[in-house]
Amino acid sequence: MNDTTTVWPELPYSAWRETALTLQLWTQIVGKIRLALTPWLNHGWQVPLYVTARGLGTSAIPSGSEILEIEFDFIRHRLDVRTSSGEERTLALEPQTVADFYRRVFNIMGDIGVVAAVNEMPNEVQNPIPFSQDTMHAAYDPAAAHRFWRALIQVDRIFKVFRSGFLGKSSPVHFFWGSFDLAVTRFSGRIAPLHPGGVPGLPDAVTREAYSHEVSSAGFWPGNEAFPQAAFYSYAYPEPAGFRDRPVTPGARFDATLGEFVLPYDTVRTAVDPDALLLDFLSSTYSAAAETGSWSRAALECPMGVPRRVRPL
């Protein structure tokens, strides 16, 4: 039987900060290729990456009459580029500047005949530097990247169980390369007030489209400069009166600066039953949003799914 601290690896932000900063920018370069080639889908759902059996991948990207796929392989530590016409290229994931990674990725794109014009300015990061000019970020620790991916596997697994308990509109479980987090979002079905915008590094039009409808959203991020620890989060938009005062999972708290409930990753990782604790956090914070926001819970919810068992009507 696996020990929970092995299944849920340690992920101290300070120990892999430089790799995390570099990797976020690398994923943005790949994500922006998907953005450039994929028709817009509600709430920006055409842009994220997905957890795979090797790392993080784009899924199928339309490229003319063919399909392009790009995947970060955190086992062999390489970027795999494949097309439906049979083209395959790889790029080693190793210490290299963002500028070099950007140049090498687009050399591959040119070599396989894929044209994708991207905005070189990173999104949602402090002090952004155009990709082609960024010689500051150049770290890559294979063991740290592998641990991050192993954590994502567990989070993705539990988020998908949680997602199965909702009949209303729900997002896929997907990895946003701008904010560098894995997220899943439930919708009440009602239109939301126009978002004020002002999210650093994100155009207001994108933010407003993403939050066009009421949501209860949860996610996981590995930490950043402003909040240097791995954590789970949950928020509601618009935030209903009383939301932040509702009781939720022990160990979680509402962070007034972030405007969301936060549960440290280490609290989950070291719990006797990490799966149960995380599911309780997801469920209790969603309930806080649904109850204070007067969602039609009876019409929107169902028991969580079980393999091979048809949902009873």
Domain boundaries, the chain: 9-133, 142-300
One-letter amino acid for residue 164 of the chain: S
pTM value?
Answer: 0.96
pLDDT for residue 1: 40
Average pLDDT, the chain: 96
**Residue 251, by phi and psi: left (phi above 0), alpha (psi -120 to 50) or beta?**
left
Specify the DSSP element, H or E, that contains 210.
helix 204-210
Confidence check: pLDDT of 204 > 80: yes
pLDDT over 50 at 35, yes or no: yes
Query: For residue 273, how many C-alpha atoms fall within 13 Å in the half-sphere facing its CB?
Result: 5
Of 27-31, 42-46, 199-203, 255-259, the poorest mean pLDDT is in 199-203
CA dist., res. 291 & res. 242, Å (int): 9
C-alpha 239/C-alpha 304 separation (Å) is 25
Kindly report the backbone phi and psi dihedral angles of residue 221, in degrees, each rounded to the nearest multiple of 5, phi listed first.
Answer: -130, 150
- Burial (CB count within 10 angstroms: exposed 0-12, middle 13-18, buried 19+), residue 150: middle
pLDDT for res 212: 98
Q: Nearest to residue 84, comparing CAs of 60, 52, 54?
A: 60
| Average pLDDT score over residue span 32-58 | 97
Encode pLDDT of 252-305 as tens digits.
Answer: 999 999 999 999 999 999 999 999 999 999 999 999 999 999 999 999 999 999
Average pLDDT over residues 228-246: 98
Is residue 133 scored above 50 in pLDDT?
yes
> Which pLDDT does position 225 carry in this prediction?
87
Write out the two tokens for 311.
């949902």
Would you give the distance in Å from CA 214 to the centre of its chain? 19
Determine the average pLDDT of the residues in 26-42: 98
- The answer, yes or no, to whether residue 73 has pLDDT greater than 60, is yes
Residue 141: pLDDT above 90?
yes
User: How many Å from the N-terminal Cα to the C-terminal Cα in the chain?
Assistant: 36
Whether pLDDT at 5 is above 80: no
Q: Are 266 and 252 spatial neighbours (Cβ–Cβ below 8 Å)?
A: no
Decide if pLDDT at 144 tops 80: yes
Answer positive or negative: Cα dihedral of 155, 147, 122, 46: negative
pLDDT of 249 > 90? The answer is yes
Dist CA 89 CA 97 (whole Å):
20
Dist CA 67 CA 95 (whole Å): 29
Predicted local confidence at residue 9, as pLDDT: 97
For the chain, how long is the longest CA-to-CA vector? 57
Percent of the chain with pLDDT over 90: 95
**What is the spatial distance between Cα 222 and Cα 41, in angstroms, rounded to a whole number?**
26
Q: What share of the chain has pLDDT > 70, as a percent?
A: 98
Backbone φ and ψ for 100, nearest 5 degrees, come out as -65, -40
